Structure 1
Amino acid sequence: MALLQDLIKQIDDETLRQRIMMEVGKLTKQKKFGLVFEEHLPECTPLYDVEIRIDSKVALKTGQVSDIYIVRTIDGDKVICEHKIDHAQVEFALDELVAIAEFGEPIYPYLKPIDMVCNAPDSDLWHTLIEADNYHALQLLEYLYAGKVDCIYIDPPYNTGARDWKYNNDYVDGTDAYRHSKWLSFMEKRLRMAKKLLNPKDSVLIVTIDEKEYLHLGCLLEEIFTEARIQMITTVISAKGVVRTGQFSRVEEYIYILELGNSSVQPGIYNMLDDEIKKEPDRSIEWLGFRRRAPQAKRNSRPNQFYPVFVSNSDGRIISIGDVVKHGVDRNSIPVPEGCTALWPLSRDGDERLWSLVPEQARINFEKGYLRVNNWNSEKRTGTVYYLPSGTIDDIENGKAEIVGYNADGSVEAKYHSEGTTPPKRVWNMKTHNAETYGTNILNAIIGKRFDYPKSLYAVHDSLRFYVERKKDALIIDFFSGSGTTLHAVNLLNAEDGGHRRCIMVTNNEVSEAEAKVLMKQGIKPSDEEWEKLGIARYVTWPRTVCSIEGHDVNGNPLKGNYLGSNIPMADGFKTNAAYFKLGFLDKASIRIGRQFREMLPILWMKAGCFGPCPVLVDQKVPEYMVLPENRMAILNDNSCFKRFAEEVGNALEIETVYLVTDSDADYRSMSKGLNVKQTYQLYRDYLDNFRINSRR
């Protein structure tokens, strides 16, 4: 309905506009069911890199990007514009305006290198930070990594009403009647793009949220990810809580976990309900009761698992395993060896139940010392049969648990020398997840007080570890990266186990509303250097990334303390590298082919896997070809050089990805057959057309 109202406002005839609004008002009173939210006008895109010309669509840098004007004349730095809806003509200064693209109009992205940190020159692992509106970044990432991402972790705006996020470049607050529908519209577009990135055979989406939108978000996730297994974690982020007069104190947030394909949680040493290790080192193996406890485990359900276990009257040692007693045969009619007692799988009230194994397997396990009787009472001749489950037996036989002796009854005594794992629970109450102690305090120690409410480093670390612990080459994306906690956590995981996981972060470079007001009073506008340097990407995310990798704060002082759980000194930093890019947009009509190719190189580098430092082309001349072993990629621009190119590629065994620039599908197929590499891609000679977004190709 909001979209309809936005469109109605564009009707020039006031009488018709009012009549339609009246009819729409009647429609809004009809009852709706399910997750129904208002579609809004799609978000427009400011194009700061595109030159403003006659007939350009523009908006004020300090206004709503959806408030569109058409440029009619340009005289020096004075511009006469016509409003798109009411056609009123207004004069602006040229530097007050920015070119824009409406939804559906093609735009041509490129990645502009901003900075890099190299703390492991011998490593080919490079993380990336992309400064961008995340919707357009996701469109580009779809081209690069569709179906290849192992894990997406996001912490989206919680829509608290605190004017901390924007829709169409305008802050959304608690007084906005369409606050919830704008948030859902905003999230739906991005989640649908995220789904295209995830590997459908084995990947996970992790989304954090609080009470304001968790119900709506759950419905939205179920609607988009119909094939996923969805769970919701309740996680305590501050035990002292947020006091609310007359209400319960809030201590928790929520984490949605969406598992695709074969993805599954890996157990750890904590059950997450508390921070005590449940299976400490040098612990004894666990014996389980041999009688099955399930209510349906009755004698007639599995007749081959009802039989006697004969034990010595004197000490309760198992003497032998009897045969199956068929259903209908009275168990008391079974003869018992002299000096023995028959133990049966009976419940406390005397119901006939089942043992956990058939007699043949029970005899094998008994001979190996994996079956015994506990709590034997020689007077009453009662005791309980215990056994080792198959998992524990496997641990003994593969050396994970060591036999340290045998009991008098012949049963084994065995111990685990390392910590064991336990299934995590769906309520997390870990001290290390405290957002203030291990989020705010860690961040402030690195960059000072520049960002409110960062996640606990260890909360993100644990969330990721459950799914990428065994994927040491995992690709992880966070397109609401905020203060950069996700990359910090990925680097910590890699440092702990020698992993090679790669992280791509995406964040905009917005300043807070309060900062924006101060800057505008000073005549400073978006895209001005004074404005940009205070944006979140440049003032928070990237400084944290550089400092945590190099092991110092923003003033150059070594970081203090060790990372919890691993005792890795923070001052050691991490042996890794990261590149920082800004997503920009080019004017296809005015960009020469040489510059097109130069601006496309970072995108090709990312698609090839981000190996080694991103290559740079100094001049604007398009090379005949490039063979880049350090980056594991090669590019052929001139087909007449294919023979020489193929020979060099063949000699460079590191090359995995080859780009062949040709408009001919037949030429591409012919050339790709002559290359023994992991993957080849066809690129069109008009380079920007390869990466057109915002409209269908």
Structure 2
Amino acid sequence: MDGYNDNIHQQQIDKLQQLFPEVVTEGKIDWQKLQVTLGEAVDLGERYRLGWKGKSDVFAAIQEKTVQTLHPDRANSVDWDTTGNMFIEGDNLAALKILHKAYYGKVKMIYIDPPYNTGNDFIYNDDSKQTRRSYETEAGITDDEGNVVRDDGLRTNTGGHKHSNWLNMMYPRLFLARNLLRQDGVIFVSIDDNEVHNLRLMMNEIFGEENFVAQVIWEKVHTRKNSAQYFSYNHDYVVTIARKKDEWKRKLIPRENNSAYSNPDNDPKGVWKLDPIYANNPYDADYVISKPTGEVMSRPVGRYWRFSEKVWLQKVQDNAVVWGKRGAYPMVKRYLSDVQDGLVPQTIFTREFAGDNALANTELKNILKMESLFDYPKPTQLIKRLMQISTDTNNGDVILDFFAGSGTTAHAVDELNAEDGGNRRWICVQLPELTDEKSEAHKAGYRTIADIARERIRRAGAKIRADQANKLASRDTPLDLGFRAYRVGDSNFKQWNELVSDPEEIRQQTLANLDPLEEGATDDDLLTELLLKRGISPLAQIERYDNFCFIPSEKLAICLAHSMTEELFAIILATSPSCVILLDRAFGDDINLKVNLLLQAERQGVEVEVV
């Protein structure tokens, strides 16, 4: 174990080597040989593509390895021992890298509501931010004193600086997010007109244009803004792209209003509603209908029968026809039992169907008892609709939101699980962005947006438990309304926080790190980090013994004891692990004990890692 979470750069090389083993030599790509292998498929000339200032740096950001980890925060958690949900406080790029190995290909649905890039000078509060002035200087548009030396068409809140910063921030996050999706997974991204064009191009490049599904229009407000200079905007978009479109199976929206169906004649097939027997679309059936009264009717001029004569006669025989009064065309019964279980989703989400900003503000007010916490929050109904379209009820599907904001996604997952008996799980990531000191939230004690989100999720869970107590009591398994809270931070191991390659530096580091653990590191911290860096979710089932723990799904034993004995090691081996992780400090100065135990494990075919 080298301390890094995942080597994404090496993974890309490995993928290429699987396809073209002849072009990889000693871990390096022979570019000339790859060109020869691909032949005419290689095009180094001009072509259609998305480009911007700093794009090459984006790939360096993706490939940059990290030793950071997640630190458990039990004090801010709910139902720590039983929950399958995670709330992570920290930069989402770091969080995605930390989760990369453990959740690669395991997330069913991603929903994010990223910054819309409406003109703020700083795009996102992380290392990718850059002021307009520094961008213009770096791009050669202005000199060091701010004088324009090249006309780049930049105007206030427009031009390359604005879009480049946003693309630099979004690209690596979407790239990593794609890797976390299952092959039958899907990502939904809320966005407005400012960046929807760039988002589409960027996601086409990352996910493949062939995996684009839809650009949904969501009605976020219904009132007209007469003070608008040009148009009164009342919609946002939800860009929908599948990980692999051929494998993504879109679900139907549940039918919620069947009031149009009734059964006044006690038809044994159940409730029905009437459909006309003719339509506007051409159909080659042409016959006459004889009503029980003897009246004979031909199809209306310019209209067409909806059924063949054979199908029509069968409906007459099945008593599925309502003949109507004289002169009226008969109608056929459409039985609810014959229609599909749900409705195909449409690309326009009305406020009645998916809620709007006003509903979202009301939800926040009712939960947190404060007004106007966010300018344009999303309603839980919107995210519940997306889950109905893309997730299964009882397969434990994982939903990820790495721009969690006020925690709407977590709230929506918990609420939908309560409504339909589901067991979906969620992972939310939110930057500890400071609240405005003049805001109601800050005055109420919420120092960061992450604080607001955690409290909203806690209160929402309590409300669901109280409001739906009778329904929850009938579940086969208890509804999971808890979450484990984590925060992104440095490694708990000194040698991983100070990775060096020079032999003398390594020697000096070894002398300085006689105690390899960072001050204050707890067993929870160590266990979480070791699991993540082995590619195991910290939510995995763990069997706990007196001095070690065992993860059955991985046949992995982890011992964090301060001292090791032959007796303890024998107990560990009795659990039949395939691998054992031990702390180096457990051996103290007893080199012989360490060697003997390693040999004993080797004889039993057990791998041992000493950290």
Q: TM-score range by the shorter chain?
A: 0.5 to 0.7
Cα distance in 2 for residues equivalent to 1:440 and 1:177: 38
Report the 3-state secondary structure (helix = DSSP H, G, I; strand = E; otherwise coil) of the residue aligned with 2:182.
coil
8 Å contact kept, 1:627–1:633: yes
Match of 2:332 in 1: 386
Cα distance in 2 for residues equivalent to 1:435 and 1:613: 39
Give per-residue Cα distances to partners, 1:184-235, cap 9 Å, x unaligned. Answer: 22212111111111111x2221110112111221222223222424211211
1:492 to 1:290, Cα distance in 2 relative to 1, 3 A: same
Is the counterpart of residue 434 in structure 1 residue 356 in structure 2? yes
Is the counterpart of residue 627 in structure 1 residue 606 in structure 2? no
1:443 to 1:258, Cα distance in 2 relative to 1, 3 A: farther
8 Å contact kept, 1:43–1:168: no
Cα distance in 2 for residues equivalent to 1:567 and 1:642: 45
1:464 to 371, 383, 387: 387
8 Å contact kept, 1:129–1:506: yes
Q: Greater Rg, structure 1 or structure 2?
A: 1
Is the counterpart of residue 581 in structure 1 residue 486 in structure 2? yes
Q: Displacement, 1:478?
A: 0.3
Q: How does 1:107-118 map to 2 (within 5 A)?
A: 107-116=66-75
Match of 1:128 in 2: 86
Q: How does 1:7-46 map to 2 (within 5 A)?
A: 35-40=50-55, 42=57
2:181 to 190, 198, 205: 198
1:394 to 1:156, Cα distance in 2 relative to 1, 3 A: closer
2:427 to 478, 485, 504: 504
Is the counterpart of residue 368 in structure 1 residue 305 in structure 2? no
Give per-residue Cα distances to partners, 1:574-616, cap 9 Å, x unaligned. Answer: 7522111111223415666677995452256676555589899
Counterpart of 1:210 in structure 2: which amino acid?
Answer: D
Cα distance in 2 for residues equivalent to 1:443 and 1:633: 47
Q: Displacement, 1:243?
A: 5.1
1:248 to 231, 252, 255: 231
Unaligned runs of 5+ in 1: 1-30, 45-100, 271-276, 300-305, 317-340, 396-419, 517-531, 553-558, 651-657, 673-681, 688-697
Report the 3-state secondary structure (helix = DSSP H, G, I; strand = E; otherwise coil) of the residue aligned with 2:175.
helix
Counterpart of 2:482 in structure 1: which amino acid?
Answer: N
Cα distance in 2 for residues equivalent to 1:133 and 1:375: 67
8 Å contact kept, 2:253–2:344: yes
Q: Displacement, 1:535?
A: 3.0
Match of 2:593 in 1: none
1:286 to 1:136, Cα distance in 2 relative to 1, 3 A: same
Report the 3-state secondary structure (helix = DSSP H, G, I; strand = E; otherwise coil) of the residue aligned with 2:222.
coil
Match of 2:273 in 1: 286
Match of 2:527 in 1: 601
Report the 3-state secondary structure (helix = DSSP H, G, I; strand = E; otherwise coil) of the residue aligned with 2:319.
coil
Is the counterpart of residue 139 in structure 1 residue 97 in structure 2? yes
Q: Displacement, 1:488?
A: 1.0
Report the 3-state secondary structure (helix = DSSP H, G, I; strand = E; otherwise coil) of the residue aligned with 1:129.
strand
Match of 1:97 in 2: none
2:221 to 224, 231, 238: 238
Give per-residue Cα distances to partners, 1:39-69, cap 9 Å, x unaligned. Answer: 257479xxxxxxxxxxxxxxxxxxxxxxxxx
Is the counterpart of residue 222 in structure 1 residue 204 in structure 2? yes
Report the 3-state secondary structure (helix = DSSP H, G, I; strand = E; otherwise coil) of the residue aligned with 2:399.
strand
1:486 to 1:116, Cα distance in 2 relative to 1, 3 A: farther
Counterpart of 1:435 in structure 2: which amino acid?
Answer: N
Q: How does 1:138-537 map to 2 (within 5 A)?
A: 138-163=96-121, 165-166=123-124, 168=127, 170=129, 174=157, 177-200=160-183, 202-226=184-208, 227-242=210-225, 244-259=227-242, 260=245, 261-269=247-255, 277=257, 279=259, 282=262, 284-290=271-277, 294-295=281-282, 297-298=283-284, 308=287, 311-312=290-291, 314-315=293-294, 341=296, 346=299, 348-349=301-302, 356-357=307-308, 359=310, 365-370=315-320, 372=321, 374-375=323-324, 377=326, 383-384=329-330, 386=332, 388=334, 392-393=337-338, 421-431=342-352, 433-439=355-361, 442-443=364-365, 445-446=367-368, 448=370, 451-468=374-391, 470-471=393-394, 473-511=396-434, 534-537=447-450
Cα distance in 2 for residues equivalent to 1:660 and 1:294: 69
1:424 to 1:311, Cα distance in 2 relative to 1, 3 A: same
8 Å contact kept, 1:119–1:575: no
8 Å contact kept, 1:116–1:578: no
8 Å contact kept, 2:433–2:448: yes
1:636 to 1:540, Cα distance in 2 relative to 1, 3 A: closer
1:373 to 1:266, Cα distance in 2 relative to 1, 3 A: closer
Cα distance in 2 for residues equivalent to 1:461 and 1:436: 17
1:611 to 1:292, Cα distance in 2 relative to 1, 3 A: same
Cα distance in 1 for residues equivalent to 2:111 and 2:610: 35
Match of 1:547 in 2: 459
Larger relative helix fraction: 2
Unaligned runs of 5+ in 2: 1-45, 133-156, 264-270, 439-444, 499-508, 583-597
Q: Displacement, 1:159?
A: 0.4
Report the 3-state secondary structure (helix = DSSP H, G, I; strand = E; otherwise coil) of the residue aligned with 1:182.
helix
1:373 to 1:509, Cα distance in 2 relative to 1, 3 A: closer
Q: Displacement, 1:268?
A: 3.1
Give per-residue Cα distances to partners, 1:349-395, cap 9 Å, x unaligned. Answer: 48xx6763573x6665544333x363464xx7x84463648x74478
Report the 3-state secondary structure (helix = DSSP H, G, I; strand = E; otherwise coil) of the residue aligned with 2:418.
helix
Cα distance in 1 for residues equivalent to 2:248 and 2:47: 37
8 Å contact kept, 1:208–1:254: yes
Q: Displacement, 1:455?
A: 1.8
Instruction: Please say which of residues 152-161 and 102-111 is displaced more in the overlay.
Output: 102-111
1:40 to 1:534, Cα distance in 2 relative to 1, 3 A: farther
8 Å contact kept, 2:393–2:424: no
Report the 3-state secondary structure (helix = DSSP H, G, I; strand = E; otherwise coil) of the residue aligned with 1:145.
coil
8 Å contact kept, 1:627–1:649: no
8 Å contact kept, 2:117–2:123: yes
8 Å contact kept, 2:395–2:423: yes
Counterpart of 1:429 in structure 2: which amino acid?
Answer: T
Cα distance in 1 for residues equivalent to 2:396 and 2:359: 30
Give per-residue Cα distances to partners, 1:525-552, cap 9 Å, x unaligned. Answer: xxxxxxx983322x32222223333449
Report the 3-state secondary structure (helix = DSSP H, G, I; strand = E; otherwise coil) of the residue aligned with 2:487.
strand
8 Å contact kept, 2:367–2:459: no
1:106 to 1:438, Cα distance in 2 relative to 1, 3 A: closer
1:612 to 1:190, Cα distance in 2 relative to 1, 3 A: closer
Report the 3-state secondary structure (helix = DSSP H, G, I; strand = E; otherwise coil) of the residue aligned with 1:165.
coil
Q: Displacement, 1:183?
A: 0.9
Q: Displacement, 1:106?
A: 3.6
Counterpart of 1:288 in structure 2: which amino acid?
Answer: D
8 Å contact kept, 2:261–2:272: no
